[in-house]
């Protein structure tokens, strides 16, 4: 990475800047402040823009949400987000339910709590193996090393061919309508802002097989890996 060419620092949130679904710490807020003096900062998330914004306790940063289906810029005057893009894709629920049931029957996950599938307004979907109302303790214990889901991850991607699939959270598969993923979102951002990939560095923890950062990690974008959000300061040291 040629730091002299970096103009944009893009990053994930959960596992990169914060513990999963936790607020932004004062320490990491200060580090972002230092980075923002040298670079433009953007969040690139799997979740919705406002969820990310509120989790960060309204930190002033532009946000790409839902793998690029959403994009919002921070408004200094209102101290809120201006939504610039908010796309929604239709979902064939009957087809989705049939495909999910196929995997439940084949791999023995027919018992679950709540709904069979979680549908998001964007058109993204979540296949929650333990159900939408699974007990958190059960979810965390289900597949911590992701081996259970990676066993049939490729098959899920093949059957859900209209979606980009990810081994999400602790017990789910997350899916976004093609071509939307984090690589596509960053590439689109570059095209819209007259940037080259060499002008961007991405920081993320979910870069392994099936992770939602994997598409960026395997691309020509500069990438800084992080395995523990508490190491964020160390990981970005060369940028400071």
Confidence of residue 21 (pLDDT cuts 50, 70, 90): confident
Q: Which pLDDT score, from 0 to 100, does residue 20 have?
A: 82
Q: Find the mean pLDDT for residues 55-76.
A: 97
User: Largest alpha-carbon pair distance within the chain?
Assistant: 54
> What helix, strand, coil percent values describe the chain, rounded to 5?
35, 25, 40
Instruction: Please report which residue ranges of 63-181 form alpha helices under DSSP H.
Output: 93-107, 136-142, 147-150, 153-159
- Banded model confidence at residue 156, pLDDT cuts 50, 70, 90: very high
51 shares its domain with 153: no
What pLDDT score was predicted for residue 112?
97
Confidence of residue 155 (pLDDT cuts 50, 70, 90): very high
Q: What is the mean pLDDT of the chain?
A: 96
pLDDT greater than 90 at residue 93: yes
Among the candidates 177, 200, 221, a domain finishes at 177
CATH of the domain at 169: 3.30.1240.20
> Is 83 in the same domain as 197?
yes
d(CA 82, CA 76) in angstroms, rounded, equals: 10
Do 140 and 199 lie in one domain? The reply is no
CB 44, CB 237: distance < 8 Å: no
The pLDDT of residue 62 is above 90: yes
Do both 167 and 211 map to the same domain? no
- How many domains does the chain fold into? 2
pLDDT of residue 169: 86
Residue range of the domain that includes 43: 3-87+180-239
How open is the CA angle 24-81-117, to the nearest 5 degrees? 75
Residues of the chain with pLDDT > 70, as a percent, come to: 100
- The predicted-structure confidence for 181-240, as pLDDT tens digits, reads as follows 999 999 999 999 999 999 999 999 999 999 999 999 999 999 999 999 999 999 999 999
Q: What is the pLDDT of residue 179?
A: 98
Over 90: is that where the pLDDT of 126 sits? Answer: yes
Of 203, 198, 231, the closest CA to residue 41 belongs to 203
Please determine, for residue 163, whether its predicted confidence score (pLDDT) is greater than 90: yes
Predicted confidence (pLDDT) at residue 148 exceeds the cutoff of 90 = yes
**Mean pLDDT, rounded, for 141-148:** 95
Specify the long-range contacts of residues 80-87, CB closer than 8 Å, at least 24 apart.
80/53, 81/49, 81/50, 81/53, 83/49, 87/122, 87/123
My answer on whether 82 and 109 are in the same domain is: no
Percent of the chain with pLDDT over 90: 97
């Amino acid at each position: 990475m040629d730091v002299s060419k970096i103009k944009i620092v893009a990053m994930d949130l959960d596992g990169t800047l914060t513990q999963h679904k936790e607020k932004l710490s004062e320490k990491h807020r200060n580090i972002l402040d230092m980075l923002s003096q040298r670079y433009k900062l953007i969040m690139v998330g799997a979740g919705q823009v406002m969820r990310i914004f509120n989790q960060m306790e309204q930190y002033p940063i532009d946000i790409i949400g839902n793998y690029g289906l959403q994009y919002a810029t921070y408004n200094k005057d209102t101290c809120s987000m201006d939504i610039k893009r908010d796309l929604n894709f239709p979902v064939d629920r009957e087809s989705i339910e049939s495909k999910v049931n196929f995997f439940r029957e084949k791999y023995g996950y027919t018992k679950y709590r709540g709904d069979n599938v979680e549908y998001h307004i964007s058109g993204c979907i979540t296949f929650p193996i333990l159900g939408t109302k699974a007990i958190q303790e059960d979810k965390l214990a289900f597949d911590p090393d992701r081996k259970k889901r990676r066993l049939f991850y490729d098959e899920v991607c093949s059957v859900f061919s209209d979606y980009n699939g990810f081994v999400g959270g602790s017990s789910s598969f997350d899916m976004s309508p093609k071509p939307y993923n984090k690589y596509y979102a960053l590439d689109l951002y570059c095209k819209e802002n007259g940037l080259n990939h060499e002008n961007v560095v991405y920081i993320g923890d979910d870069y392994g097989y099936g992770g939602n950062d994997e598409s960026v990690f395997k691309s020509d974008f500069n990438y800084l890996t992080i395995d523990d959000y508490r190491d964020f300061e160390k990981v970005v040291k060369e940028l400071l």
